[in-house]
Amino acid sequence: MFDKAMSTAVIVISFLAIPILGSPVVFPRANPVVLSNLAIPSSTLPAPDGLVLKFVALGIGTQNYTCASPSSSAVPASNGALATLYDIGTKLNSDPGSAWKIPITSGLALSLSPYPAILNGFLVSQGYNNVLGEHFFTSAMVPTFSLFDVPSTPIPQVNCKKSASMPAPTSACPGENNEGAVPWLYLTDAGGSTGGVNTVYRLETAGGSAPATCESSASSFTVRYAAQYWIYGPPS
Ligand SMILES: *[C@@H]1O[C@H](CO)[C@@H](O)[C@H](O)[C@H]1NC(C)=O
């Protein structure tokens, strides 16, 4: 009787907890998994020769900027970024609709991101609500992708540097205030990457660009963005 009541309580609490907490406690994906059904969006960036696709993350967060003075002759400087990385690759890899979902997902996520409950509903509806980890910049301003929620040792982490870039395609979502989508990037290991990953492509960007000048800007500010990070490593 006690056991039954307990397990009912646990079920009710778990049921209540999922929509509130968003992501489950245990990450359901093993590592490494090769996402062999997904073709990288076409770009002029160098190809991932000899590497295999291990994760596709939807990053939702901010690009950070600083302005030396609030004047039209000053230009905003990039000051890192912070984004939560959601696992979209696992679902897309077995989704017959992946080809049309890939180009629309970043813009849609960006448009929902001011409304966390609605964003979460979208992520849950697509099976994209498992968090892989975070994209952040270290205090030495090294762009870092740390997939600390993936249960593997060592954790998959890319410490990277920008090796190539191209403007986002004209079809890219220009962002909440038409600021423009941040460029697509090819990011390679800057030393110390772990867990079988060493290369990241920032693709399918939405928003995130700074205004052209610092006129009426604060000394530091953020611009909301979303992007997909296609994460590769050597075959294992
Ligand atoms: C970027 O902005 C976010 C949100 O305001 C902040 O939490 C984060 O620390 C900032 N990152 C850097 C490198 O400035």
Q: What is the mean pLDDT of residues 46-71?
A: 97
Tell me what the mean pLDDT of segment 145-169 comes to.
Answer: 96
* Res 105: pLDDT: 98
Give the mutation target among 60, 63, 64 for probing the ligand 1 site: most ligand atoms within 8 A of CB: 64
Residue listed under structure tokens 């290369």: 199
Minimal-distance CA residue to ligand 1 atom 12? 80
pLDDT at 202: 98
* CA–centroid distance, residue 79 to ligand 1 (Å): 8
Q: Where are the domains of the chain?
A: 2-15+54-233
The pLDDT of 204-223, averaged and rounded, is 96
| Per-residue pLDDT, 30 | 61
Torsional sign, CA 151, 53, 189, 202 = negative
Specify the ligand 1 atom closest to the Cα of 141.
13
Decide: pTM greater than 0.95. Answer: no
Average pLDDT for 130-147: 97
7-21 pLDDT, tens per residue?
444 433 333 334 444
Predicted confidence (pLDDT) at residue 139 exceeds the cutoff of 80: yes
Render 6-33 in DSSP notation, one character per residue. HHHHHHHHHHHHHHHH-S-SS----S--
The answer, yes or no, to whether residue 178 has pLDDT greater than 90, is yes
